[in-house]
Amino acid sequence: MGSSPVGGVFFTPIVSGAKMEKKLVKDIPKKRENISKWYISVIRKADLVDYAPVKGMMVIKPSGYAIWENIQKILDSKFKETGHQNAYFPLLIPESFLNKEAEHVEGFSPEVAWVTIGGSEELEERLAIRPTSESIICAMYSKWIMSWRDLPVLINQWANVLRWEKVTKPFLRTSEFLWQEGHTAHKDKKEAIEETLKIINIYKDFIENYLAIPVIMGQKSDKEKFAGADITYSVEALMPDGKALQAGTSHYLGDNFSKAFNIRFEDKDNKLKFVHQTSWGVSTRLIGGLVLTHGDDSGLIIPPEVAQFQTIIIPITRGDWKETILPMARDINKKLMNSGIRSYIDEREEYTPGWKFSEWEMRGVPLRIEIGPKDIEKKQVVLVSRVDREKRFVPVEKLEEETKKFLKDIQNQLFQKAKKFADENTHYTEDMKTFKEYMKEGRGFIKAPWCGDEKCEMKIKEETTATIRTVGDKAESGNKCIVCGKEAEYIPYFAKSY
């Protein structure tokens, strides 16, 4: 019933038959016309997510969670390869801990959900559900770190966090979300900065090469940096509506937290010193970025590297297909799985092949494999790309290598397409009027010289809604601030942000 075993992978579409009738592609708003409606429509029809009965919270359904599992698997191995270990810290943080670092509490306390009753008793001190875990982790590090021998501490946590948001959108901004948060402690600034940069580069590499989303990478302005950090590095991706999505951040915390929490170590010279710290994270927001970047009017397109199913096999149900086509389809599915490809076969009888084509396009499986009577004769299969419906006829004996090649091509194609869009929508101007025109038409990244003064940054935000996404390169001599006309310090990337 619904669930069918296929070479070790089972799959139950959690969509009712009744609902599927309404799930026709023509019901999706056009992406170009209303990307916001398109987004909500697609993530729900493709079964990634549902709204929870608590405001601002989401249920990540199996098809959505499978993407997160692939993200976790890849990133986790990259963290471990670079010396990090996972741990788990408590969900609840006493208010007094959150209050220890002044900027941190100011930044986060308006968004906190508070536990005030535990097991029918009023608590003496209310407990925050972690909006991020610096304060609880630093409290532990101050117990754990004594000597230079204990450093560096390189710990990551996969966890849920909660920020009480007013306006939410599944994956992109929700009150509860899933993420990883790394928290490291180092003997000095140099080593901590190296760590901060190492991680932001891991994020860039991962987002570009696995999620096929091009990003810019750079430092945040003081106004935009993390509450409690000295420096925040960020990777930012340009979405099809010309708005920037902050996709990952890596913070150099200096000794702000180690002073607040008294995390000191005895160095080789016998002196007590404060550690220098970093923290960094990416979240389920990445799934939202992936949907926005690659999807089209037929639904999702999931990059092969993180797709739950990389190939969907659809046997053409005609005549004696169960005796002829089905065995070959199963054989092909098994071959693909044995060669490491995540494949699935849709054997349902209650749906036509055409229906299945639409459904799996909606779900974003990057490669469809059709097997019909002619293909059996010719000992071949037809591979169809989800991106542009390019067809390749592949002899069965070359199945595995050709499928892998096609998947690789699709992965590249998705990245190149997104890169082209980002390049075409990255502008440079020194003129405020032009800046505003860009912001009115298509938006995008706008590079413009800036003096470094927060007042000018604020003025641009007020007049255009654009904020500094990264401060960009140092300005050259002669560059004038687009707002005040004074000598420019940087050429930031401005954009309206998600």
Whose CA is closest to 470, among 491, 488, 443? 491
Q: Residue 367 Cβ, how far from its own copies at the closest point, in Å?
A: 21
Q: Residue 347 Cβ, how far from its own copies at the closest point, in Å?
A: 14
Cα 64 to Cα 302: distance, rounded to the nearest angstrom? 11
Q: Residue 72 Cβ, how far from its own copies at the closest point, in Å?
A: 10
Measured from the CB atom, the residue of 93 and 491 that comes closer to its own copies is: 93
Strand runs (DSSP E) across 132-224, as ranges?
153-162, 176-186, 216-219
Q: Residue 148 Cβ, how far from its own copies at the closest point, in Å?
A: 6
Whose CA is closest to 181, among 68, 283, 57? 283
Q: Taking CB under 8 A as the rule, does residue 59 contact its own copies?
A: yes
Whose CA is closest to 238, among 424, 9, 21, 372? 424
Pick the piece of the chain touching its own copies (CB under 8 A) from 74-82, 445-453, 467-475, 482-490.
74-82
Measured from the CB atom, the residue of 176 and 224 that comes closer to its own copies is: 176
Cα 177 to Cα 179: distance, rounded to the nearest angstrom? 7
Cβ atoms of residues 188 and 71 within 8 Å? no
Cα 249 to Cα 344: distance, rounded to the nearest angstrom? 35
Cβ atoms of residues 287 and 222 within 8 Å? no
Q: Taking CB under 8 A as the rule, does residue 270 contact its own copies?
A: no
DSSP state of 110: G
Q: Residue 22 Cβ, how far from its own copies at the closest point, in Å?
A: 11
Q: Which positions from 348 through 367 interact with its own copies, judged by CB under 8 A?
A: 350
DSSP state of 30: P
Q: Which positions from 477 through 496 interact with its own copies, judged by CB under 8 A?
A: none
Among 44, 100, 187, 417, binds its own copies (CB under 8 A): 187
Among 43, 67, 75, 145, binds its own copies (CB under 8 A): 145
Q: Taking CB under 8 A as the rule, does residue 74 contact its own copies?
A: no
Backbone angles phi, psi at 90, to 5 degrees: -65, 150
Pick the piece of the chain touching its own copies (CB under 8 A) from 142-150, 326-334, 376-384, 487-495.
142-150
Cα 121 to Cα 113: distance, rounded to the nearest angstrom? 18
Q: Residue 254 Cβ, how far from its own copies at the closest point, in Å?
A: 20
Angle (CA) 216 222 228, round 5° = 105
Cβ atoms of residues 95 and 127 within 8 Å? yes
Residue-wise burial string across 438-457, b where 16 or more C-beta atoms lie within 10 A, e elsewhere: bbeeebbbbbbbbbbeeebb
Pick the piece of the chain touching its own copies (CB under 8 A) from 80-88, 194-202, 325-333, 383-391.
80-88
Cα 177 to Cα 87: distance, rounded to the nearest angstrom? 18
With 0-12 / 13-18 / 19 or more C-beta atoms within 10 angstroms meaning exposed / middle / buried, residue 333 is buried
Among 42, 129, 212, 329, binds its own copies (CB under 8 A): 129
DSSP state of 487: B
Q: Residue 100 Cβ, how far from its own copies at the closest point, in Å?
A: 12
The radius of gyration of the chain from alpha carbons, rounded to an integer in Å, stands at 25
Cα 430 to Cα 428: distance, rounded to the nearest angstrom? 7
Measured from the CB atom, the residue of 268 and 440 that comes closer to its own copies is: 268
Residue written as token pair 């799934």 = 287
> Binding pattern to its own copies, positions 283-302, x when CB under 8 A?
--------------------
Q: Taking CB under 8 A as the rule, does residue 45 contact its own copies?
A: no
Among 30, 32, 37, 118, binds its own copies (CB under 8 A): 118
Q: Which positions from 94 through 113 interact with its own copies, judged by CB under 8 A?
A: 94, 97, 109-113
Task: Report how many residues bind its own copies under the rule CB under 8 A.
Answer: 90
Q: Which positions from 315 through 354 interact with its own copies, judged by CB under 8 A?
A: 350
Measured from the CB atom, the residue of 64 and 304 that comes closer to its own copies is: 64
Cα 325 to Cα 53: distance, rounded to the nearest angstrom? 45
Among 36, 88, 318, 340, binds its own copies (CB under 8 A): 88
Q: Is the dihedral of CA 292, 295, 297, 300 positive or negative?
A: negative
Q: Taking CB under 8 A as the rule, does residue 15 contact its own copies?
A: yes
Cα 93 to Cα 96: distance, rounded to the nearest angstrom? 8
Q: Residue 56 Cβ, how far from its own copies at the closest point, in Å?
A: 9
Pick the piece of the chain touching its own copies (CB under 8 A) from 48-56, 226-234, 425-433, 470-478.
48-56
Q: Residue 107 Cβ, how far from its own copies at the closest point, in Å?
A: 13
Among 30, 36, 69, 428, binds its own copies (CB under 8 A): 69
Q: Taking CB under 8 A as the rule, does residue 153 contact its own copies?
A: yes
Q: Taking CB under 8 A as the rule, does residue 171 contact its own copies?
A: no
Among 33, 119, 320, 323, binds its own copies (CB under 8 A): 119
Paired tokens of 319? 């005549």
